[in-house]
Amino acid sequence: MPGLLVISLVILVLYVFKIYVGYRRAVERIHDFPGYRSFYYTANRLLRKRVPGVITGDQAFHHYKFDDFAHYGWDILSAVTVAPKTRTAWYVANVDAVKIITESRTAFRKPVERYDVLGFFGKNVVITEGEEWKRQRRITAPLFSERNNRFVWDESVRLMEELFDHWGSKERIALDDATDLCISIALHAIAAAGFGRRFSWDTEASVPPGHQMPFKDALHIVSRDLFFKLMFPNWFLKWAPIKKIRVFSTAFVDFQKYMLEMIEERKEEGTEGHSDLFSNLVEAATGDQDASNKLSFSDVTGNIFIFLFAGHETTAYTLAFALALLALYPEEQDKLYQHIRAALPKGGSPKYEDVAAFSYPLAVFYETLRMFPPVAGLPKVCEADTMLMASNPDGDNLPVFVQKGTRVWINAAGLHYHPQHWQDPHAFKPSRFLGDWPREAFMPFSGGLRACLGRRFSELEGIVVLTMLISRYKVEVLEEPRFSGETFEQRKQRVLSATSFITLTPDRIPLHLVKRD
């Protein structure tokens, strides 16, 4: 037994020595560039809390923003971990470096293996790379046309008018969590503009024969709980002891069935006269174009899912954060209201022809995206040895050698709170987006070649919702007795609290809508 113990200790010492040697070599390769040094690397988002020297943790925006870059003194940081194997990574909040990373066709690729959860319905423009991505992009990009933009605007106006009719003459509307309202608005918008399906605010959607839940419920549950599909095998999803997981399994199967039925329906009736994205995608699969410009039906379901997932969830959460900020800062809300009154002197609903007049609602939407980027970190993999340049507050530059195969993270949150580009970055100042502003330091929709195709879709919906809601209602934080003694900073922290998983999600935003005179 003593001999076995000695052998075990020798093996342990050799293992620790091997780890140490690997760690020192990794540090030497990056010339001990400032940054994180931790024992364990994990891509598991359940282990997101930072333990200095042990786990680097999730670089979540709502914890760190630009703080780490300020602490280490440079706007590019290194990270070295040793378990389960020695790894080196870079976190980038430097504008020039980000431009190199996003605009390079070959030096940096998207690690599509991290996006398996977004490919269960088929290939799409988000989860592909190389020639397949070029093909997907070439076919799908033209679908986001001026005609489609107008359709999105008109549908957003219609659904807001119907919402106001649904509320009727109510003077006050209490929202225990405004996120629920924003999700409903975004779901109605994507159902109409994405699928050509309109739902009433007054009645529950019916359940067609052969289905177990309404279309919009299946859509919402699948997009909200998609991570279950990545975490558990199919048999467990169906028989899980947790009801929420079983409901997701049912919604997933139901939603897939809905999409296949709609494809067949559009094939039979034709796509002429339809402006929604789904019809445009079906046309891309059934039209007369050659094979290189054609989608498979699996591609249709894959792309429509990614458009609705990215389109409704991120827009909904951004609108919820925007309403929270306007409630917390009534002086900014009043500026927005006065702008709306000037743009709509006779009241009524905004017209698409006048979209340029609504610069302040767009500024509020942008400022919210700056402060609460939907995805705080954008991963890339370096495919060829590359030199980047870091900078510090004194204007000094320091070269950063990024070796082939190294993971690189574009830190959108760090970029959005970089004091070199944004004066008083922690303040809510929509007016900073009027006139000239640093577009290269703004990445809520990614950037470069892989910038979000649905950006204008989201912007137009945001303008319409903010314009119409604020023109009719004043937004306030809902007063709750249990929080009666809190300070403004405590209230702000509570109302703007968020959790980052696939996208940044508000925890709870309790608001009061008070009808304007």
Q: Is 452 labeled as ligand-binding?
A: yes
Please name every residue paired with 138 in a beta bridge, in sequence order, or none if there are none. none
Q: pLDDT value at position 203?
A: 64
Q: pLDDT value at position 474?
A: 98
Task: Specify the DSSP class assigned to residue 441.
Answer: G
Contact call for residues 126 and 139 (beta carbons, < 8 A): no
| Within-domain flag for 407 | no
| Helices and strands (H and E) in the chain: how many | 19, 13
> Which run of H or E residues covers position 18?
helix 2-29
Name the residue type at position 266.
R
How far, in Å, CA of 362 to CA of 432, rounded? 11
| CA nearest to 344, candidates 149, 516, 151 | 516
Q: pLDDT value at position 273?
A: 62
Pairing relationship of beta strands 108-109 and 377-382 according to DSSP bridges = antiparallel
C-alpha distance from residue 410 to each of 66, 95, 129, 215, 352 (Å)? 12, 10, 18, 36, 34
Whole-prediction pTM? 0.90
| Within-domain flag for 433 | no
Q: How many CB atoms lie within 10 A of CB 452?
A: 20
Name the residue type at position 273.
G
Token readout for 251 is 């919604």
| Within-domain flag for 477 | yes
Contact call for residues 359 and 42 (beta carbons, < 8 A): no
Backbone phi, psi, residue 289, to 5°: -65, 160
- Name the CA dihedral angle for 151, 156, 161, 162, rounded to a multiple of 10 degrees: 90
pLDDT tens string for the chain (517 positions)? 577 888 888 888 888 788 888 888 888 888 899 998 887 765 555 556 677 767 776 655 456 789 999 999 999 999 998 877 788 999 999 999 999 999 887 889 888 777 666 777 778 887 788 888 888 888 788 777 888 889 889 999 999 999 999 999 899 999 999 999 999 898 888 878 777 778 778 766 678 899 999 887 888 888 778 778 878 888 888 888 899 999 999 998 998 888 888 888 877 776 666 667 777 778 777 766 666 677 777 888 788 777 777 667 889 999 999 999 999 999 999 999 999 999 998 888 999 999 999 999 999 999 999 999 988 888 899 999 999 999 999 999 999 999 999 999 999 999 999 999 999 999 999 999 998 999 999 999 888 878 888 888 899 999 999 999 999 999 999 999 999 889 999 999 999 999 876 788 899 999 999 999 8
Token readout for 204 is 């529950």
For the residues of 330-350, what is the DSSP string, one character each? Answer: HHHHHHHHHHHHHHSTT-S--
Q: CATH number, domain at 480?
A: 1.10.630.10
Put the strands of the sheet holding 377-382 in their side by side order: 35-40, 76-83, 87-92, 407-411, 377-382, 108-109
| Within-domain flag for 69 | no
How far, in Å, CA of 239 to CA of 220, rounded? 21
| CA nearest to 441, candidates 462, 414, 407 | 414
Q: pLDDT value at position 198?
A: 80
| Within-domain flag for 255 | yes
Token readout for 402 is 């990024």
Q: pLDDT value at position 275?
A: 67
- The structure tokens 């037994």 sit at 1
- Give the total number of structural domains in the chain: 1
Q: pLDDT value at position 359?
A: 97
| Within-domain flag for 176 | yes
Contact call for residues 365 and 459 (beta carbons, < 8 A): yes
Q: pLDDT value at position 317?
A: 94
Structural domain of residue 140, as residue ranges? 130-373+452-515
Q: pLDDT value at position 507?
A: 93
How far, in Å, CA of 79 to CA of 33, rounded? 9
| Within-domain flag for 386 | no
